[in-house]
Amino acid sequence: MSAVVNATANTGISGAAVHARCAASAAHVAIEVVAETGSSNADLLARAAALPGPTLLIALQQSAGRGRAGRAWLSEPGATLMFSLAWRFKGPLQQLVGLPLAVGVALAETLTALSVPVRLKWPNDLIKDDGKLAGILVETLAGADGAVWAVVGVGLNLLMPDRLESQIGRGVAAAPWLAQMDRNDLMAQLLNRLAATLAEFDDTGFAAFSERWNRLHAHHGRDVKILDRGQVLHRGVARGVDDSGRLLLDTPQGRVAVLSGDVSLRSAEE
């Protein structure tokens, strides 16, 4: 039986309610809900060695939420769904290449089934109407006992309060339709697909997801540039990803395959 820890009352989401809606793929996941924390990813990473199994941590508010390259993720209670899922993998760390993209596929397919069609921006963003709807941060840890843990952090914008919009600026999307859903139903549907995806990824790697990712590619056939710390590394036409999750880019010098790392993708005109 999965462990369940609830936050204070009247939060709109509870571990017990989410667990009651879980499919078989997620029935073994421990679910915790806290009213506030610094970073749910950091919390689970710190506890990974002691976790008995897959653990979902939902934080109604995060004071130090972060995205890739240490960027801050701003949130507001009720407007953003923020959670982290810790998962133990069988293979070595190098076999987790492409995991953020597989997570993106799981989230995008779930949201599309909920009448919120989205596209995927390489390597880890979900795009709606040309704005960022959700971001993914995957952090890994290899324990002394040989265990390999990944903590998958997700921030999903449901509403965009004026306060946050003024701080974040343009290029951000929200999904008011999702905000009207029961949060426990929404979280359970996301968790069900994520748990099934992580289990499949553990067996197959990213190769089983590359075609699905490419069908959701937001920049396919578009002129883009790849930046590293603000410097342009490549310019070319985006052609999708290979079975390792590398972005295939047709440049004047020929096709290149770009590893994600801390690089970022922008449209050529940005």
- For residue 88, pLDDT over 50 is answered with yes
Residue 63: per-residue pLDDT: 80
Q: Tell me which residue of 156, 27, 145 sits closest to 84, measured CA to CA.
A: 156
pTM of the predicted model as reported, rounded to 2 decimal places: 0.89
Distance CA 149, CA 70 (A): 20
- For residue 1, pLDDT over 60 is answered with no
Q: Where are the domains of the chain?
A: 4-214, 219-267
Burial pattern 138-170, b for ≥16 Cβ within 10 A else e, equals bbebeeeeeebbbbbbbbbbbebeeebeeebee
The top-scoring range by mean pLDDT among 41-45, 78-82, 227-231 is 41-45
User: CATH number of the domain at 219-267, out of 3.40.50.720, 2.40.160.20, 1.10.260.30, 2.30.30.100?
Assistant: 2.30.30.100
Among 3-7, 22-26, 135-139, which stretch is predicted with the lowest mean pLDDT?
3-7
Residue 72: per-residue pLDDT: 54
Distance CA 17, CA 6 (A): 10
Question: Mean pLDDT for the chain?
Answer: 87
Taking only the tens place, the pLDDT of each residue in 151-167 is: 999 999 998 765 454 44
Residue 170: per-residue pLDDT: 57
Residues serving a catalytic function are 68, 132, 266
Taking only the tens place, the pLDDT of each residue in 200-233 is: 999 999 999 999 999 999 999 999 999 988 889 8
Superfamily of domain 4-214: Bira Bifunctional Protein; Domain 2 (3.30.930.10)
